[in-house]
Chain A
Amino acid sequence: MTESNGSQRSVGDSPPRVDGTGKVTGAALYVDDLPVPGAWHGRTVRSTVPHGILRAIRLDADFDWSQVVVVTAEDIPGRNLITLIVDDQPALVPLGGTIRHVEEAVAVVVAPTRAAALEASRHVTLEVDALPSIHDLDAALAAAVRLHGDDNVQKRLEIHRDDADIDAVLAACDHVVEGVYTTGAQEQMYIETQGMVARWEDGRCHVVGSLQCPYYVHTALKPLLALGDDEVIVGQAVTGGGFGGKEEYPSMLAAHAALASLKTGRPVKLIYDRGEDIAVTTKRHPARVRHRLGLRADGTLVAADVDVLIDGGAYVTLSPVVLSRAILHATGPYRIPHVRVVGRSMATNTPPHGAFRGFGAPQTTFAYERQMAKAAVRVGMDPIAFRRHNLLRDGDTTATGQVLSGSVGSDAVVDALEQALEAEPPTPATRFGTLSAPVRRGRGLAVCFHGAGFTGSGEARLMGRATVAALPTGGFEVRSSSTDIGQGALTIFTQIAAQALGVDPVHVHIAQASTDRVPDSGPTVASRTCMVVGRVVEQAATALRERLETWGRSASSAAPAASTASTASAPPTAPTPAPGTAAGAGAHDVLALARRHLDQVGEVAETRTYEPPAGVAWDDDTYTGSAYPVFGWAACLVDLAVDEDSLEVTVERCLHAIDVGRAIHPRIVKGQIEGGTLQALGWALWESVPYADGRVANPSMTDCIIPTSSDAPELETILVEVPYAYGPHGAKGVGEIPMDGPAAAVASALEQALGVACDELPLLPEVLQRLVAQGGAASIGASS
């Protein structure tokens, strides 16, 4: 190890992930790997119709039920609801209750083996009085079937920059660019399916699972099971990807597993197979965004009028906050003096849509960046120059009246992109010599921003907490409910805490995220883990070091023997302080001080609570104020080739410059950006989730494809650092922003290549075929 003193190195380095060895050797235990002696296995019985009244649950009289337990709504000791924003979703539909989507859970069958549970589930039939159902935005708007209020609107939100009559302002503009942009559902497709284990012990319910937010599950289970805070314990197993898909849905699995365990008196494992996971869990909201943009002849933006519709599905779940983020990003990183945005989340009889990286922003970013591409063409400006002309900069005001102040990387990311374009591409695209047919090429650009942390007053309400403690076994422990779902939280918290404590990272351990051991740091979502919780970890670690140093100074002046104890108890691995290090400030001293404190006084820990920076004020009623504490900024460029016959698209180059504030661990940050970028390219080009009568039509990995290593281009990632004063070491959120821009860049590149407007996603070959046919470009795609 190169570090002789942890305080000298850590933040800004890219050491191997702390959980890397376990993952690469197969030793890491994911939920289905946990040994659970005596566990039975659950399988969920679901509706077969998208809308109806449940009349009866019938068990096949010819089947042997002696080794099977069937759990229904009658077995729920508390409230039959999955607590979230609006408590409208039952854990299990009761007899006489309404089924609102085709995958709605009605019962859980539990048996000694997974195969036996699956077999038993096939011998349960439901009697349902079917009702007419609706499955898309138009049907929801027509409201011939009413699922929510009179108009099926689950949530309506509006932004008004000023009192101007937006129609009149647009009518007075030199140009008005208008478009309608539709985007499809997207499956998170974490490679580990959802899973949960529940067991009861001493009247307390313990669940461990694949999840992002232990306290969400905790909050949901307490009223369902009629238990108190300490009677429900929720922990995270090593989790094989989330991307938002394991934000709210795990509460459903936890409910079913806990009820099954309660009724059987055994531990119960509930592990979804891939088909079930794709069919029933949340996806990115399908959306339709109508966007009108008014500008002057010189390319100056004047007005934007945006109407955002998202398909929330059968229950409200997280749709109001997804909608909020969608509308708050609807006019992009541009100065636009007159803005009206109206957003509605609509109820349909489809399984609820939910959190997925970007959380509403990718849908509206697709719309506004397509609009910007068209507007630049309309006024005859270079696409980069057009964006530069209108970009928000430090001191400018956003659509909600937020005055940007500090860490505004808008120009910096565009500069970085332009510099990279001037340089030679790193590797010539040799792979594309193999394309058989003639190709057409296009280039597309996207510039965007993404609010980091919770929307509006969210962070102030959450009051995320974290603790840093000195361990009796030596070293320090960080306790937070922020989970590592692959994004590197364990490693980054280790680096931040080590640097603040002034110790080598080997002396820092991160506690398992279990509600009986860690405080509520808020959920692991919204690009907030490093920026918000990392900051709290830094403050707690700093407070602990200062407390130990203060105690050390008073103890050593009071008790000379203490210094002997200090030397004697120093762990053999403690690094030697650098020569000349001031007394009380070196790594050696903090470790030794902690040991002495444990010996002489007892355990010591510091907890800190997040405090939003002063001046971050938000008004939920008027939707004005500081929507986010800070924004990330990004510029993305895509070069692609389209096969003229098959209309297959090959991404030849993808450059992504992102302002991350400060990269605590550059390689992890790069990995986040690249993973998000490929998910965005997948959403744009290859990933499709069609529905038939409210049911996912392709519930298998074979049919619901995601990009392979051969589909993926070489990803060129540029980290831009415009530090954020209130993030740890200047860091701000990075998890979601790479998802926002690439789809628009792809669509604009395809538009350039094919000469037809590409305003919908995904742009599958068959979609391009239709667009080309409609656009009259007959020479393209003729032979396929």
Chain B
Amino acid sequence: MKLRLTLNGTARQLDVHPMRRLLDVLRADLALTGSKEGCGEGECGACTVLIDGEPVNSCLVPVAQAADHEVVTVEHLADEALMSDVQAALVEFGGTQCGICTPGIAVCATVALEREPDASRERLRELLAGNLCRCTGYQLIIDALADAQAARAAAARGHGAERGTGHPGATAS
């Protein structure tokens, strides 16, 4: 079946079986291997992508459901830049270790911080509860997101991006 979708900002036409998992189409057909499979059953969130801005587990979505919608994967979180502020904070604060959960967490956290810019740490933990990480104990992930939040708030107040250590890795370049 032929279907159209917008993938990472580009209109695409795909010829695929409609019931194939979006995750498989992204990884196998389109070589977008940033989205990972940790469970294949909607538990781990490693496969999280955005459909019309909404985080979904792409292992549970038949590709037909993405037809005529806008799909964004981890590869496109920073638009043209190397890393978004959220991604840079995850690196800087040690929010990634083995990294297999990280794409899903980066996607989910991007939405969380946009929708709830004032979320408490506790609320951040709830918003990320669908993304399992076995390495970090989550502490440094939450630290990273709290810092990205604070930097955005400071920028909004006109203070510029006041990142903790001012390391060049902290800003997209």
Q: Which residues of B contact A274 (CB under 8 A)?
A: 38-41
CB contact under 8 A between A240 and B141, given known A21-B91, A25-B83, A701-B44: no
Given A24-B106, A241-B98, A674-B140, 11 further pairs, Cβ under 8 A: A16-B92, A22-B99, A23-B102, A24-B88, A24-B99, A191-B134, A193-B38, A430-B122, A671-B135, A709-B133, A715-B139
> Complex Cα distance A32/B26, Å?
13
User: A485, B98: Cβ atoms under 8 Å?
Assistant: yes
B26 nearest CB across to chain A (Å): 10
Stretch at the interface among A96-104, A132-140, A605-613, A675-683: A675-683
B119 nearest CB across to chain A (Å): 12
Within 8 A of B (CB), among A199-239: 238-239
Q: Mark B96-130, 1 if CB is under 8 A from A, else 0.
A: 11111111001000000000000011101110111
Say whether A273 faces chain B, with CB atoms less than 8 Å apart: yes
User: A24, B121: Cβ atoms under 8 Å?
Assistant: no
Say whether A28 faces chain B, with CB atoms less than 8 Å apart: yes
Q: Mark A45-85, 1 if CB is under 8 A from B, else 0.
A: 00000000000000000000000000000000000000000
Say whether B62 faces chain A, with CB atoms less than 8 Å apart: no
CB contact under 8 A between A710 and B125, given known A192-B36, A240-B100, A670-B94: yes
Within 8 A of B (CB), among A626-648: none
A107 nearest CB across to chain B (Å): 23
Interface of A is mostly: loop
User: A190, B136: Cβ atoms under 8 Å?
Assistant: no
User: A17, B91: Cβ atoms under 8 Å?
Assistant: yes
> Complex Cα distance A25/B125, Å?
22
User: B83, A24: Cβ atoms under 8 Å?
Assistant: yes
User: A16, B38: Cβ atoms under 8 Å?
Assistant: no
Interface residue from B40, B44, B90, B106 paired with A191 (Cβ < 8 Å)? B44
Say whether B58 faces chain A, with CB atoms less than 8 Å apart: no
The closest CB in chain B to the CB of A27 belongs to B34
Say whether A20 faces chain B, with CB atoms less than 8 Å apart: yes
CB contact under 8 A between A709 and B128, given known A24-B99, A243-B134, A431-B122: yes
> Complex Cα distance A708/B96, Å?
16
The closest CB in chain B to the CB of A189 belongs to B134
Interface residue from B37, B82, B98, B140 paired with A25 (Cβ < 8 Å)? B82
Interface of B is mostly: loop
CB contact under 8 A between A667 and B41, given known A16-B167, A25-B83: no
Q: Which residues of B contact A679 (CB under 8 A)?
A: 134, 137
Say whether B22 faces chain A, with CB atoms less than 8 Å apart: no
Say whether A176 faces chain B, with CB atoms less than 8 Å apart: no
User: A486, B167: Cβ atoms under 8 Å?
Assistant: no
Within 8 A of B (CB), among A1-35: 1-2, 14-17, 19-30, 32-33, 35
> Complex Cα distance A273/B43, Å?
13
User: A35, B31: Cβ atoms under 8 Å?
Assistant: yes
Q: Which residues of B contact A273 (CB under 8 A)?
A: 40
> Complex Cα distance A221/B86, Å?
43
CB contact under 8 A between A240 and B121, given known A32-B37, A274-B39: no
Say whether B73 faces chain A, with CB atoms less than 8 Å apart: yes
User: A24, B134: Cβ atoms under 8 Å?
Assistant: no
The closest CB in chain A to the CB of B170 belongs to A16
Interface residue from A240, A675, A714 paired with B136 (Cβ < 8 Å)? A675
Interface residue from A25, A32, A676, A701 paired with B75 (Cβ < 8 Å)? A25
Within 8 A of A (CB), among B46-86: 46, 73-75, 77-78, 82-83
The closest CB in chain B to the CB of A278 belongs to B39
Say whether B87 faces chain A, with CB atoms less than 8 Å apart: yes
The closest CB in chain A to the CB of B93 belongs to A667
Q: Which residues of A contact B78 (CB under 8 A)?
A: 25
Say whether A125 faces chain B, with CB atoms less than 8 Å apart: no
> Complex Cα distance A671/B74, Å?
23
User: A427, B102: Cβ atoms under 8 Å?
Assistant: no
Say whether B169 faces chain A, with CB atoms less than 8 Å apart: yes
User: B41, A702: Cβ atoms under 8 Å?
Assistant: yes
Q: Mark A482-496, 1 if CB is under 8 A from B, else 0.
A: 000111100000000
Say whether A668 faces chain B, with CB atoms less than 8 Å apart: yes
Within 8 A of A (CB), among B143-173: 166-169
Q: Which residues of A contact B166 (CB under 8 A)?
A: 2
Q: Which residues of A contact B39 (CB under 8 A)?
A: 274, 700-702
Interface residue from A16, A30, A242, A701 paired with B43 (Cβ < 8 Å)? A701
Q: Which residues of B contact A243 (CB under 8 A)?
A: 134
> Complex Cα distance A709/B130, Å?
8
User: A26, B33: Cβ atoms under 8 Å?
Assistant: yes
Q: Which residues of A contact B38 (CB under 8 A)?
A: 191-193, 274, 701
> Complex Cα distance A702/B39, Å?
9
Interface residue from A190, A191, A671, A710 paired with B129 (Cβ < 8 Å)? A710
CB contact under 8 A between A240 and B36, given known A190-B98, A709-B128: yes
The closest CB in chain A to the CB of B123 belongs to A431
Within 8 A of A (CB), among B1-58: 27, 31-41, 43-44, 46
User: B134, A241: Cβ atoms under 8 Å?
Assistant: yes
A-B contact pairs, 23 of them (CB 8 A): A16-B91, A24-B106, A25-B78, A25-B82, A25-B83, A25-B103, A26-B75, A28-B99, A274-B38, A486-B98, A486-B99, A486-B135, A671-B94, A671-B136, A674-B137, A674-B140, A676-B137, A678-B137, A700-B43, A702-B41, A708-B129, A710-B129, A715-B137
User: A192, B141: Cβ atoms under 8 Å?
Assistant: no
User: B40, A238: Cβ atoms under 8 Å?
Assistant: no
Q: Which residues of A contact B99 (CB under 8 A)?
A: 19-20, 22-24, 28, 238, 240, 486
Q: Which residues of B contact A15 (CB under 8 A)?
A: 167, 169
> Complex Cα distance A19/B77, Å?
18
> Complex Cα distance A188/B1, Å?
40
A27 nearest CB across to chain B (Å): 7
The closest CB in chain B to the CB of A669 belongs to B94
Interface residue from B36, B41, B120, B135 paired with A30 (Cβ < 8 Å)? B36
Q: Which residues of B contact A712 (CB under 8 A)?
A: 125, 137-139
> Complex Cα distance A136/B126, Å?
39
A685 nearest CB across to chain B (Å): 14
CB contact under 8 A between A677 and B137, given known A16-B91, A21-B91, A241-B98: yes
User: B131, A709: Cβ atoms under 8 Å?
Assistant: yes
User: B134, A674: Cβ atoms under 8 Å?
Assistant: no
The closest CB in chain A to the CB of B90 belongs to A24
Say whether A108 faces chain B, with CB atoms less than 8 Å apart: no
User: A241, B41: Cβ atoms under 8 Å?
Assistant: no
User: A20, B46: Cβ atoms under 8 Å?
Assistant: no
> Complex Cα distance A143/B39, Å?
38
Q: Which residues of A contact B124 (CB under 8 A)?
A: 709
> Complex Cα distance A464/B101, Å?
32
